[in-house]
C-alpha cells in the first residue's frame, strides 16, 4: 500500500515539475496577449504653454493646452489581417486631439498602429498610417513588450514617421511601483504639416506655396512597468516651429507650440490601477505558478521517497508467545 502511494505521489511530482517550465516558456507566450477590443483614453496637459494664434499669426503664452489621446481596438480589421498574417494581431486606431485654452481644436493626428498581440512587434499591413500617410513602423509605439528588458528599444515617432532608439536610463520607483525609465530625444527635424488645420481654408498645400516649413523637436520620457510593458507615466518636452515665415509673418521663425506635456493626475491613477490588475495575470504565468509548481513537485517527491523508504524497511519479527503455565491440580 505504501509503495502504491509513493508511485502516485511520484507521478504527481513529475507532472508538476513538467508544468512549471511549460507554463513559463510555452503557455505564457501563446496565451497572454493584448485584447483586440481594448479601448483606452488618456488626457495630457501642458501648463503653461506657448501656442500660435492663427488669427494674428503670433505666438502667445496660454494657461494650458490639453491633448486627448485615445486608443481604440479595431476588431474587424484585426480579424482581417490575422487571416493573412497567421498570428494574433491587434489594430489600434489612435487619435491625438489637441485643444487650446478655449477648448477649440488646435490639431488632430489620427494613426493606425498594427502589431503582434503577444510580442508587440509591428505587423505591416494595408492601412498602417499616420495622418493619412502610409508608414512602415519599426520598433514599438505606445506600449513595451511583456517582461521589459533593461536595454534600449527602437521607438516610432509619429511626427517624423521614423524610428529611433529610446534609451533605458535605470530603475526607479514611481508611486510605490518599481519601473524602468526610458528617454528619447528627437533633434530638430522637418516634419509634414497636419492634414487638418485649425482654420478652414488653410491646408498643407496652401502653406507649402508660401514656402513655410514645419520643424519639431521633443524629449520623450516614459516610466514603464517591467512586467506588463505598460507606461504608468509619460511626459514630453515638446517644441514646434514654422520656418521661412518672414514673408507671411514678419519673422523667419515662429513658435507653433512649446510646452512640457504631462499626464493628468486622475489618468495617472487610472492607468496605474489598470497596470496593477494586469500584472497579476502575467506574474501568474511567469512567476507564481511556475515557482509554486516547482515547490509542490519537490514536496511531493520528498513524500514519495519517504514512503518508498518506509515500504522497504523490514517488518519487525513477532516473538513467539510463551505457553500459558497452568498449576497442577
Both 16 and 37 in a single domain?
no
The model's pLDDT over 75-85, given as tens digits with 9 standing for 90+, comes to 999 999 999 88
- Are residues 59 and 16 part of one domain? no
Higher pLDDT among residues 213 and 248, named by residue: 213
Which letter, b or e, does each residue of 209-227 get, where b requires 16 or more Cβ atoms within 10 Å of its Cβ? eeebbbbbbbebbbbbbbb
Do both 131 and 108 map to the same domain?
yes
Q: Where in the sequence is the domain holding 57, given as residue range(s)?
A: 32-263
Nearest to 140 by CA among 124, 152, 156: 156
Averaged pLDDT for residues 115-142? 95
Q: Which letter, b or e, does each residue of 282-321 get, where b requires 16 or more Cβ atoms within 10 Å of its Cβ?
A: beebbeebbeebeebbeebbebbeebbeeeeeeeeeeeee
- What average pLDDT does this structure show over 112-130? 95
Mean pLDDT across the chain, nearest whole number?
Answer: 90
| Cβ–Cβ < 8 Å for 19, 293 | yes
pLDDT for residue 222 is more than 70: yes
User: Residue 252 has what DSSP assignment?
Assistant: S
- pLDDT over 90 (residue 3): no
| Angle formed at CA 212 by CA 210 and CA 214, multiple of 5 degrees | 155
149 and 109 co-located in one domain: yes
> Residue 40 in contact with residue 46, Cβ under 8 Å?
no
Is the domain of 55 the same as that of 191? yes
Amino acid at each position: 500500500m505504501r509503495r502504491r502511494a509513493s508511485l502516485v505521489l511520484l507521478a504527481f511530482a513529475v507532472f508538476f515539475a513538467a508544468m512549471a517550465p511549460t507554463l513559463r516558456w510555452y503557455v505564457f507566450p501563446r496565451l497572454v496577449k493584448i485584447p483586440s477590443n481594448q479601448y483606452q483614453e488618456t488626457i495630457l496637459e501642458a501648463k503653461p504653454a506657448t501656442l500660435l494664434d492663427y488669427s494674428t499669426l503670433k505666438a502667445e503664452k496660454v494657461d494650458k493646452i490639453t491633448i486627448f489621446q485615445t486608443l481604440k481596438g479595431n476588431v474587424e480589421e484585426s480579424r482581417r489581417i490575422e487571416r493573412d498574417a497567421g498570428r494574433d494581431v491587434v489594430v489600434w486606431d489612435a487619435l491625438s486631439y489637441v485643444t487650446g485654452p478655449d477648448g477649440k481644436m488646435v490639431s488632430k493626428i489620427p494613426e493606425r498602429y498594427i502589431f503582434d498581440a503577444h510580442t508587440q512587434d509591428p505587423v505591416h499591413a494595408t492601412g498602417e498610417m499616420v495622418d493619412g500617410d502610409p508608414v512602415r513602423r519599426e520598433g514599438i509605439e505606445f506600449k513595451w513588450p511583456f517582461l521589459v528588458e533593461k536595454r534600449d528599444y527602437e521607438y516610432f515617432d509619429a511626427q517624423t514617421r521614423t524610428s529611433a532608439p529610446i534609451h533605458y536610463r535605470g530603475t526607479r520607483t514611481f508611486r510605490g511601483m518599481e519601473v524602468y525609465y526610458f528617454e528619447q530625444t528627437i533633434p530638430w527635424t522637418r516634419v509634414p504639416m497636419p492634414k487638418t488645420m485649425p482654420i478652414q481654408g488653410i491646408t498643407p498645400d496652401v502653406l507649402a506655396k508660401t514656402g513655410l516649413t514645419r520643424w519639431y523637436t521633443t524629449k520623450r520620457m516614459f516610466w514603464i512597468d517591467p512586467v506588463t510593458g505598460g507606461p504608468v507615466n509619460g511626459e514630453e518636452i515638446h517644441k514646434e516651429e514654422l520656418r521661412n515665415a518672414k514673408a507671411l509673418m514678419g519673422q523667419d521663425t515662429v513658435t507653433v507650440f512649446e510646452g512640457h506635456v504631462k499626464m493628468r493626475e486622475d489618468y495617472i491613477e487610472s492607468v496605474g490601477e489598470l497596470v496593477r490588475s494586469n500584472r497579476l495575470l502575467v506574474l501568474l504565468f511567469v512567476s507564481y505558478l511556475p515557482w509554486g509548481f516547482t515547490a509542490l513537485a519537490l514536496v511531493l517527491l520528498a513524500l514519495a521517497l519517504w514512503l518508498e523508504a518506509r515500504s522497504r524497511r523490514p517488518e519487525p519479527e513477532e516473538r513467539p508467545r510463551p505457553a500459558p503455565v497452568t498449576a497442577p491440580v
